[in-house]
Chains A and B, each alone.
Chain A
């Protein structure tokens, strides 16, 4: 089946720092999704990307649809403690989810 690899697997950063993570797939996607999961809860959709090269922002979050259509990137600027969680990429049909990037923000 489809494989979505995310890196890094985990990040420990100081509050205020910027964060970058990425996701690569084994095949071309037409839509990329980014989710955040907090402890004890289900994932919540953050951003959806629909076109190669597209750059979309949601507050301090910015995501990009890679031009090869096999990768996507998520950046968080000026991190705060509530950014803690696991971030997942997914295909547009939500059939496949990435391996996740665990983010810890140190106050």
Chain B
């Protein structure tokens, strides 16, 4: 199994540009999470999907952030326009819907730098 795949691994962009982060969950997993990790705020949940449907997006910081999951094997997190304070590592994780504590698999992350 290839695990959770994220692309790109690194992204450097200028303030105001649109950024799209991509995630392919593990095949058969029906729950997908997007997290942001920074030194100041740690690991924060942005949004999660069950069966491709967004369930809770209360962690999305602003309207500049949006996430989609058009099918079970692909999700995107878009930032438009990007700002320097969006610089962070963004993780995607997937799991199956079998209750609390079910093992969640994280991708390697995308390190975003906004200049």
Q: Is the CB of B93 within 8 A of A92?
A: no
Which size bracket describes the interface of B in this complex? 10 to 19
- How many chain A residues have a CB neighbour from B under 8 Å? 23
Which residues of A lie under 8 Å from residue B54 when comparing CB positions?
A: none
Chain B 1-43, CB within 8 Å of chain A: the 1/0 string? 0001000000000000000000000000000010100000011
Residues of chain A lying within 8 A (CB to CB) of residue B35 = 97
Q: Which DSSP category, helix, strand, loop or mixed, fits chain A's interface? A: loop
Cβ-defined contact, B43 with A44, below 8 A: no
CA distance A98 to B100 in the complex (A): 17
Given contacts A41-B109, A42-B91, contact A95 B104 (CB under 8 A): no
Instruction: Decide: A42 and B101 in contact? CB cutoff 8 A.
Output: no
Instruction: Answer whether residue B53 sits at the interface, using C-beta atoms and an 8 A cutoff.
Output: no
Minimal Cβ-Cβ distance residue in B for A45: B103
Whether the Cβ atoms of B42 and A31 lie closer than 8 Å is: no
Enumerate B87-115 residues with CB–CB distance to A below 8 Å. 91, 93, 95, 100-101, 103-104, 106-109
